[in-house]
Amino acid sequence: ISDEAAAILADHDGDLLLNGLQSLSPTAASGLSRHQGYMLGLASLESLTGDTAAALGKYRGKMMAFRGLQTLFPEVAKGLSAFAGDILEMDSLTTISAEAAEALGESRSDCLSLDGLMDLSAEAARGLANFQGSYLYLNRVESLSPEALEALGKFEGCLGLQSLSDE
């Protein structure tokens, strides 16, 4: 999407679902961050730069959904953590580094949804447990080490672990 088109779309009153975008410049992201509708959906973005994430972290809407992200670098997590809306969703991530988890632990959103994660190291769990929002969803994680469980036990909100088994 061109920088000019992003700036124009930011004035749209409703949800903005740009699920076909495969890339986004920092300038276009800055334009989109002015959007004040409920949701900004960017399902086809598989990666973001730190500068683009920092621009998107200023998004004024209530929900940002990234359903295509494959990798979350710490600088990207830090940029997105500035988002102060209701829901930050990155359900396509299957793994997360301890550094990225620590950055997401600083997220200003109320709900952090990472339902694509299938496992979680104790270090990453410690980072996410610092999240101050109300909801932390890790609903595809099937098993956790005792250290990871202990760390997540310190999270003070609603913790979603719906796939956790007793094995």
pLDDT at 129 over 80: yes
- Confidence (pTM): 0.94
Give pLDDT, residue 166.
Answer: 75
What does the pLDDT average to over 107-113? 97
Percent of the chain with pLDDT over 70: 99
Beta bridge partners of 89: 65, 113
pLDDT at 29 over 70: yes
* Rg for the chain, CA atoms, rounded: 16
Give pLDDT, residue 34.
Answer: 95
Residue 79 and residue 106: Cα distance in Å, rounded?
Answer: 10
Q: Return the closest-CA partner of residue 117 out of 65, 69, 79.
A: 69
Question: pLDDT band at 167, cuts 50/70/90?
Answer: low
Q: How many CB atoms lie within 10 A of CB 165?
A: 8
Residue 131 and residue 138: Cα distance in Å, rounded?
Answer: 13
Non-local CB neighbours of 136 within 8 Å, separated by 6+ positions: 111, 112, 114, 128, 152, 155, 157, 158, 159, 160
Q: Return the closest-CA partner of residue 114 out of 57, 133, 61.
A: 133
The overall average pLDDT reported for the chain is 95
